[in-house]
Amino acid sequence: MTPLDPLADRPLLVEQVRLEATDVVSLTLADPDGGALPPWEPGAHIDLRLPSGTVRQYSLCGPPDDPCHYTVAVLREERGRGGSVEVHGTALVGRTLRARGPRNHFPLVPAPHYLFLAGGIGVTPVLAMIRRAVADGASWELHYGGRSRASMAFTGVLTDLGAARVHLVPQDESGLLPLTDLVGAAPPGTAVYCCGPEGMVRAVTDACAAVPDALHVERFGAPPGATPAGEAGPAAAAFTVELRRSGLTVRVPPDRTLLDVVREVAPDVGFSCEEGYCGSCETRVLAGVPEHHDTVLSDEERESGDTMMICVGRSASDLLTLDL
Ligand code: FES
């Protein structure tokens, strides 16, 4: 693996933890030796392995042109799966965490105008996109909803980036974002970027039904109707997997996931959501034909067959060879 391989694992030192809003902290991460970090583009995320071993994905939200730091922000979710509570409840400054990435499944495409729609902590990738839009002199507007003003992170920096273009909509003051109206009023050719809770993503997806190519979304959860992990569908078949680096071969039966079987022989393999939406189990395919069931990869990426999400993905060929 090269040092810039996004699927490689690297140490990151937690230099700073800062309160950004109620229940939201940012982490500033750096190379332990002070070196430059792999470059990234707005929309990218990293997979961070927390001290407990839990892996979580966080969008990069600092300045993309800072070569020595990554910044991520974490919302404390009491009823989440535990990662955010660990981040908020652990003294992390000075600790070194392992990370993979950055990887980008939510890239900013060229457009004459950007309509950014952010809900809650979904503002993080959008913040990086707006920094880029400002640097490029692009036309943009942001509509950012949150439970309350105090819960909304980065409002100061966003306003500094373009006060007239930033519309803050705290729900307890102004209700919900008028998503359908905003999409309906967007000029032709607008690229709509949406990151937020599933209900918001669904509403924006519906509003963009007539112009699906204009829509770019990032989800925090599996979309409705996604195949749950372990249920590959009635046509699921057994297949054989060669783990090239480990020198092992395993058989995946129809009723088990590829990730499950791989973990028995490679317990360190990274994963998080197990539902095909977070990207943390992305694995390079060296041979064979992957059968994708995730919502991370684009059509072109699926077509290329270079990588796959092994938590939900299977194999269309009897033998699949993975870089594990
Ligand atoms: S673990 Fe989240 S995509 Fe596989």
Model confidence at 3: pLDDT above 50 = no
In terms of Cβ atoms closer than 10 Å to its own Cβ (0-12, 13-18, 19+), residue 225 is: exposed
Separation of 145 CA from ligand 1 center, angstroms?
A: 27
Looking at 3.90.700.10, 3.40.50.300, 1.10.150.20, 2.40.30.10, the CATH number of the domain 9-102 comes to: 2.40.30.10
How far is ligand 1, taken at its centre, from the CA of residue 18, in Å? 28
Give me the residue spans of the domains in the chain.
9-102, 114-218, 239-322
pLDDT of residue 163 exceeding 50, the answer is yes
Q: How far is the CA of 296 from the centre of ligand 1 (A)?
A: 9
**What's the pLDDT score for residue 320?**
96
CB-based contacts of 301-309 (< 8 A; 24+ apart in sequence): 307/7, 307/282, 307/283, 308/282, 308/283, 309/276, 309/279, 309/281, 309/282, 309/283
CA 313–ligand 1 middle distance (angstroms) = 10
* Ligand 1: lining residues by beta carbon, under 6 Å: 271-274, 276-281, 294, 296, 309, 311
Q: What percent of the chain has pLDDT over 70?
A: 93
**CATH code for the domain defined by 114-218:** 3.40.50.80
Decide if pLDDT at 231 tops 60.
no
Peptide bond between residue 102 and the one before it cis (omega within 30 degrees of 0)? yes
pLDDT at res. 271: 87
Instruction: Give the per-residue pLDDT at 215.
Output: 96
Give the confidence band of 296 by pLDDT, cuts at 50, 70, 90.
confident
Q: Is residue 2's pLDDT more than 90?
A: no
**CATH says 239-322 is which class?**
alpha beta
Distance 175 CA to ligand 1 centre (A): 33
**pLDDT the model gives residue 4:** 57
Choosing from 258, 309, 322 the residue with most ligand 1 atoms within 8 A of its CB, the one to mutate for a pocket test is 309
Bridge pairing between strands 191-195 and 114-119: parallel
pLDDT digit string, tens, across residues 271-285: 888 889 888 899 999
Say yes or no to pLDDT of 52 above 70: yes
Do domains 9-102 and 239-322 share one topology? The answer is no
On the question of pLDDT at 28 being above 70, the answer is yes
pLDDT beyond 90 at 228: no
Q: Does the global pTM surpass 0.85?
A: no
Atom of ligand 1 nearest to the CA of 310: 4
